[in-house]
C-alpha cells in the first residue's frame, strides 16, 4: 500500500514534466541533452547560493537562544534567489537550440524545474509517502511541484524576454516586476501563511498568481515573435 501511494505521488509530481517534454517539439530536435545541461546549470547555481548563504548570511536562529525570525535577514536570503535568474541567463546564452524561442524556453524551464524537483522533493516524498498511513500532505507536495513547473517555465520565458533587444521598452518594467514577484518565493510562502492556514487554499492562491504571471509572460512572448 505504501509503495502504491508512493508511486501515485511520484507520478503526480513527474508526469507533467514528462508530458510537457514528450508532447512538445523538443523530442524532434533531440533536446534531451539541452534539458540535462539546464539541470546541471541548476545544480551549479544552487552550489554557489549555498556557499554565499553559508558565508554571509549564517542563520541567526539559536545563536543567543532567540528563535525569532529576523525579517531583514530573510529578505536578504530571498534576494540571493536572484542568482537563479543569473543562472538561467547564463544557460540561455550558452544553450543552442535549433528552432523558435519557445524551444529554448521549454528546454531550460523543464531541465531547471526537473532538477529542482529531484533535489528538493524526491527524498522527502520517498520518506513520507512510504509511511504507514495515507496523508494528503504528500499529494499537496506533488501538486505544488506541478505549480512549480508553471513558475519555472515563466521564469525561463522572462529571462528570454529580458535578453531580447526587440522587446518594446515600455514592457521592460513589467518584465522586471514579474521577475521580482516570482523571485521571492520564501516571501510568497510567508504571505500565504499569514493569509490562511489552509494548505489547499494556499495552493490555490499560488496556482492563481502563477497562472496570471505565466499568462502575462505568454502575451509578451507573442508580441515579440509576432514581429
The confidence score (pLDDT) of residue 47 equals: 92
CB 110 within 8 A of CB 150: no
Give tens-digit pLDDT for 27-38: 888 888 889 999
The answer to whether residues 85 and 155 touch, using CB atoms and an 8 Å cutoff, is yes
| Number of other residues whose CB lies within 10 A of the CB of residue 159 | 25
Look at residue 194 and tell me whether its pLDDT is greater than 50.
yes
At 211, give phi and psi (nearest 5°): -65, -40
pLDDT digits (tens, 9 = 90+) for 6-20: 778 888 888 999 999
3-state secondary structure of 26: coil
Nearest-angstrom CA–CA distance, 157 and 148: 14
Q: Which residues of 90-117 are buried (b: 16+ CB within 10 A; e: fewer)?
A: ebbeebebeeebbbbbbbbbbbbbbbbb
Query: Can you tell me the mean pLDDT for 93-114?
Result: 86
Which three-class secondary structure state does DSSP give residue 68?
coil
Res 109 pLDDT > 90:
yes
pLDDT reported for residue 64: 44
pLDDT of 190 reads 66
What pLDDT was estimated at residue 181? 85
What pLDDT does 8 receive?
81
89 Cβ contact list (under 8 Å, min separation 6): 159, 162, 163
Residue 130 pLDDT greater than 80, yes or no: no
Among 42-51, 55-64, 68-77, 186-195, the least confident range: 55-64
Query: Is the per-residue pLDDT at 158 higher than 90?
Result: yes
At 186 the pLDDT is 63
The pLDDT assigned to 90 comes to 92
pLDDT score, position 159: 94
pLDDT band, very low/low/confident/very high, at 123 (cuts 50, 70, 90): confident
pLDDT at res. 70: 59
Q: Interior CA angle at 160 toward 172 and 40, to 5°?
A: 135
Residue 172 above 50 pLDDT? yes
What grid cell was written down for 96? 543552442
Question: How far is Cα 29 from Cα 129, in angstroms, rounded to an integer?
Answer: 36
Amino acid at each position: 500500500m505504501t509503495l502504491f501511494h508512493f508511486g501515485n505521488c511520484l507520478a503526480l509530481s513527474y508526469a507533467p514534466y514528462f508530458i510537457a517534454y514528450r508532447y512538445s517539439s523538443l523530442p524532434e530536435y533531440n533536446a534531451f541533452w539541452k534539458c540535462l545541461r539546464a539541470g546541471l546549470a541548476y545544480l551549479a547555481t544552487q552550489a554557489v547560493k549555498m556557499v554565499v548563504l553559508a558565508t554571509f548570511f549564517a542563520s541567526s536562529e539559536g545563536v543567543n537562544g532567540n528563535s525569532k525570525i529576523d525579517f531583514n535577514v530573510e529578505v536578504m536570503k530571498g534576494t540571493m534567489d536572484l542568482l537563479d535568474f543569473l543562472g538561467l541567463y547564463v544557460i540561455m546564452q550558452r544553450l543552442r537550440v535549433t528552432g523558435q524561442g519557445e524551444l529554448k524556453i521549454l528546454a531550460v524551464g523543464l531541465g531547471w524545474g526537473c532538477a529542482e524537483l529531484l533535489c528538493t522533493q524526491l527524498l522527502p516524498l520517498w520518506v513520507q509517502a512510504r509511511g504507514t498511513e495515507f496523508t494528503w500532505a504528500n499529494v499537496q507536495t506533488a501538486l505544488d511541484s506541478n505549480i512549480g513547473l508553471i513558475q519555472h517555465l515563466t521564469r525561463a520565458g522572462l529571462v528570454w524576454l529580458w535578453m531580447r533587444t526587440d522587446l518594446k521598452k515600455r514592457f521592460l518594467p513589467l518584465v522586471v516586476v514579474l521577475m521580482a514577484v516570482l523571485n521571492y518565493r520564501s516571501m510568497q510562502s510567508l504571505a500565504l501563511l499569514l493569509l490562511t492556514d489552509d494548505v489547499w487554499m494556499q495552493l490555490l492562491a499560488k496556482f492563481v498568481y502563477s497562472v496570471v504571471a505565466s499568462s502575462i509572460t505568454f502575451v509578451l512572448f507573442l508580441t515579440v515573435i509576432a514581429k
